[in-house]
Homo-oligomer: A and B are copies of this chain.
Amino acid sequence: MSRHCVVQKYGGSSVASAELISRVAKRIAATRRERDRVVVVVSAMGDSTDELLALAQKVNPAAPSREMDQLLATGETTTAPLMAMALERLGVRAISLTGLQAGIRTSSTHRSARIVDIVPQRIIDELEAGRVVVVAGFQGATEDLDITTLGRGGSDTTAVALAVELEAERCEIYTDVAGVYTADPRVEPRARPIPEIAYAEMLEFAAVGAKVMHPRAVEIGETYEMPIVVRSTFGDGPGTLICKHPAMEDRQKIRGIAHDSGVAKVILTRVPDRPGIAATVFGAIGAAGINVDIIVQNVSHDGLTDLSFTIAEEDLARARPVLDEVARKVGATEIVADTAIATVSVVGTAFLGTPGMFARIFRALSARQINVEQITTSQIHVTVVIARDRVAEAVQALHAEFELEQD
């Protein structure tokens, strides 16, 4: 397709009512005056997905995932024609397409399907006919025309994948914040939007709790080098550009502080310290579809060790039966779950070859008597596990330590 093609994605809070949909339509109409080809991806309106989940929970708390997908996809399928109507009212020719109609072919793993192919002919035909194409995000279809959903961050994934397929100039993610912030502004009022950030940094950011974009969508962007802009739906700011090479002066920096209070620490106590134990434990948890984040295995005493790891707190109930089974199998004495914890992460390429960074993190936290329970690192992030009630203090301390309030 052309350099004059752009894909825009609008999240649930941006399309939560008829009034907001009409406001977003004006923004799209302005874009259409500047671009030949505009594709819009929309999420479900406000909390409509939660309402569908509540309905499903009432009729069947263990509903088949295929039926959940048929149900949940209706959220985005409702927004898309409303947006097309709102555009038509402004004199902008528009058409809505479901994931199936848009040619988004996925695997058959319901609730977290992967896009395997996009057959873009219908979209291209409509764009060439001069229409804005509004695609229902978060959804696709299998070869058998079964509806699938793409899991968390699904609409972002739809948008970036379409941008890649259509060779768009860039993919714009519109949301209720002004971009990717140096920290959560609700926790650190001095936080500010980051102008440019590398895909790898953004991936770490998303992985350690920054909710603004889902890692999967960033991954696709990185693979195909599709520039992604995150910006405010109703503001005028430039937002954050996620790209391969941020401008020179923006490199080798600490980008920001992320935190996640929705985690739980699980400890299996007095596990025999034998090869293969960890594989048994994490194999079973992974098979249940539960992601494990930070793993710590204590020093062995008498051939016994404590195995500790974090999972999302919302997965804890689902993890319990799996953990009971696993504990029995590996002979653990006890399972302890601690939800009074949180993670705080420092993200940025500055960690590459800058040994003093770790010391600064610990110094900033210890100066406030914040105890670090666990720690994990990669080349571009450090994550510490601390008490949940100290999160705001820790974020503020680290934000100040790395002078992130300054441009």
Across the A-B interface, give the 5 residue pairs with the lowest CB-CB distance, nearest first: A18-B58, A70-B81, A60-B85, A60-B89, A63-B85
- Asked whether A36 is an interface residue with its Cβ less than 8 Å from the other chain, the reply is no
Band of interface residues on A = 35 or more
Interface core residue of A52, A63, A122, A146 (most chain B CB under 10 Å): A63
A residues 19-65 in Cβ contact with B at 8 Å? 19, 21-22, 25, 52, 55-56, 58-60, 62-64
Q: In the complex, are the beta carbons of A63 and B78 less than 8 A apart?
A: no
Stretch at the interface among A94-102, A338-346, A365-373: A94-102
Give A62's nearest chain B residue, CB to CB: B89
- Asked whether A86 is an interface residue with its Cβ less than 8 Å from the other chain, the reply is yes
- Asked whether A279 is an interface residue with its Cβ less than 8 Å from the other chain, the reply is no
- Asked whether A145 is an interface residue with its Cβ less than 8 Å from the other chain, the reply is yes
Q: In the complex, are the beta carbons of A58 and B101 less than 8 A apart?
A: no
Q: In the complex, are the beta carbons of B59 and A100 less than 8 A apart?
A: no
- Asked whether A107 is an interface residue with its Cβ less than 8 Å from the other chain, the reply is no
Residues of B contacting A100 in the complex (Cβ-Cβ under 8 angstroms) = 100, 145
- Asked whether A80 is an interface residue with its Cβ less than 8 Å from the other chain, the reply is yes
How far apart sit A68 and B78, CA to CA, in the bound complex (Å)?
10
Q: Which listed residue (B58, B84, B98) contacts A64, Cβ 8 A? A: B84
Residues of B contacting A25 in the complex (Cβ-Cβ under 8 angstroms) = 59
- 11 further contact pairs, Cβ within 8 A, besides A64-B85, A70-B80, A71-B85: A59-B83, A59-B89, A63-B85, A63-B89, A67-B81, A67-B82, A70-B77, A70-B96, A74-B74, A74-B78, A122-B144
Give A19's nearest chain B residue, CB to CB: B58
How far apart sit A25 and B122, CA to CA, in the bound complex (Å)?
38
A residues 132-166 in Cβ contact with B at 8 Å? 144-147
